[in-house]
Structure 1
């Protein structure tokens, strides 16, 4: 999903510059730093004990950190995020690739440096989730190839997180900060930098409504709970709430005024989520359970509309949907 945003003339340059700086310093840069920290801890944990029960707490802490910035897809994250979070995997590449690595004991699975050249289907959070929670893969023992593969995936993930954090801090944050400068060929005006960040907010909420919720909801006659994001680790609803909050926090950093409607909409979303009977969405064939998740989906869309009204309108950003536009 892409959002084409037409920038109107009412956007003040001073607001643009301040919003970008606050978005960077209050949300984006600390978010990537936290993800790098948590993945380093995860890798360290697997070095001590790579069995599932030992690794799961650190895995979930790293995933929580990712939800703060994982939907940002500009700069280093435009391509770098793909191998951190390869989802949706509609063709089942991840389990097939993992099984191939394990059955053949591929050498790359024991070397984090070589593993960086492996398919994105076998790297990142979702490959690790499958190893830790998948019934077909999580029965490995210490000293096995599978256990070593978990260590490799975690070490590779920590390396990816460090590269993203460095790329944002040293390379792309200066590009956003210097928007409008004569030598900045990426953002020709300060307004373009604001638009780029604002688009990430709206796109994140749209992805949560349409994919994190829409995919498992499927249709009334054919719900697809097996398509829920991170369902094996019981994270689908947790991810919905955390990703939505991440988008709201980024929106609040971008604005320098209060957002009462957005805050109220986020509060209603949390209240609706508290009524969901299964946070893994496994019971969507039950009409009443399905309705509760549909209500959550509607509240995510309400959060997005509130941000459009409280930020987009005030900044002179007129949103218009265009799924084929890359802006």
Structure 2
């Protein structure tokens, strides 16, 4: 509910008004993303986990927003993405989609949401798509084996008209089988060849884009050059068709170790803690709120009548 006094809106309840004003923005489509790719224009992607971070990404004119399962660590305090449930993830996808703007929205398929069986995985993908029409594609992490289950799953999603972004290289949902968070394809040429082969398979299946994570830049550049669909790199160098980073890393929101491939563009945590500390100190010192500057007036007649009523009781 919006509380209006005179012509002013107070508190956070004016947010829906701002959102309504932004609805005029035309959301990008697969065709738009492919047009940027064919024009040689780099594609920007950033993660978002709630309405506020999605609004920031939209206002920054990011081409794509990824509702990533990294919300597990960045917003929910989990140690790994494998702890995130589909129900928890759906809550965040819905919040992100309430932020209007032009960005193409991709939702991760969290760990456990598709591995049980193809029918279950398809149903869960439909659940994510049903949350909001702004969800235009899902992202699926893939193994490197030719008979990897994820490839079969992706084939069935595409057969049903669901747009898919593949994800190869360092795939956090498979971190245990990969031996930890390690660069992929840098030790043996056979591993690099496997990355190349699965990228070709994903293109052949019908994926319109592929995320390349933690792959040596020379390898990712070759993979990109041999494809006819865009690659989105994270820790894969400048030779990819676009880049994606986690928003909390970009903004410096958490006191965590940053991977080599991350560039922090702000130190939001320091600024936020400083501002909150100042608020707490002013409350303790009774210097906030200040009468007149942070308070509302009442008509003298109304106030006197109020006093007369309570003093007679």
Give TM-score, length-normalised by structure 1. Answer: 0.28
**Higher strand proportion, which one?**
2
Larger Rg: 2
**Higher helix proportion, which one?**
1
Higher relative contact order (CA 8 A, sep 6+): 1
Give TM-score, length-normalised by structure 2. Answer: 0.29
